[in-house]
Amino acid sequence: MPLPPKTEVFDTSHRRGPSFELLSRPAARCWFIDRDRGLLIQVQNGRFIQNWRKEKATKSYPKYEKTRSTFSRDWDRFTDFLKGQRLGDPLVQQCEITYVNHLEIEKGWQTLGDLKAVTPVLSEVSPGRLPSPEGVIFGSRYVLPEKRGRLYVQMQSAIGADGKELLLFTLTARGAPSSSQASDLLSWFDFGRTWIHEAFEGFVTPEMRVIWGGQKSR
């Protein structure tokens, strides 16, 4: 099924209510997977998405520079295809970059009551005589400079594929590029990534950044 649109709006006089859409043909979201099955391109009406997937335990997390390069290559191929089919150039309204981090139990923390060792934001999750929490969810959002978008931060407890408890730490920057030119899209991604790193530095303790493998350099 197609993913719903997400657009950052700053003019409060045009707040969105419920939306309805009539379709003359079935909506679809197409997947294109590379030979190593680690890179996924998703295409639907209104979205072009590149995802990295960890299909094998030995596969290393790609750095931003590589992800940026593969996106630029595949976006150029996609726009060339549109031109070849006489569909015109796409009008890009929003860009989005997301980092999804998994922090497994027994790697710097033993219970959800130890979260002060992970982040200063959740320094006291068991106040008074309360026991260690069974589950935790935290979220916040921030308007980026010059209203170029918003930054979303979320940390929550989860269970991994191996059945072990982990913390799911997700950082998303979303906003409008200055134009639909490929160079402006990449410029916005660089901007969003900078603020994601700012959030990572602020939300994660120095000790956990070392255990986490120094992700601030990615």
Q: What is the pLDDT of residue 75?
A: 96
Max CA distance (Å), the chain: 67
Q: Is the dihedral of CA 117, 63, 77, 148 positive or negative?
A: positive
**pLDDT tens per residue, range 86-145:** 998 999 999 999 999 888 888 888 888 888 888 888 877 777 778 888 888 999 999 999
DSSP classification of residue 2: P
Domain positions in the chain: 25-90, 91-218
- 123 φ, ψ to 5°? -75, -20
Tell me, yes or no, if the pTM score tops 0.75: yes
- Residues near 140 by Cβ (< 8 Å), separated by ≥ 6? 152, 153
DSSP H stretches of helix in the chain? 64-84, 182-203, 206-211
**pLDDT tens per residue, range 59-83:** 677 889 999 999 999 999 999 999 9
Q: What is the pLDDT of residue 25?
A: 59
Stated length of the chain: 218
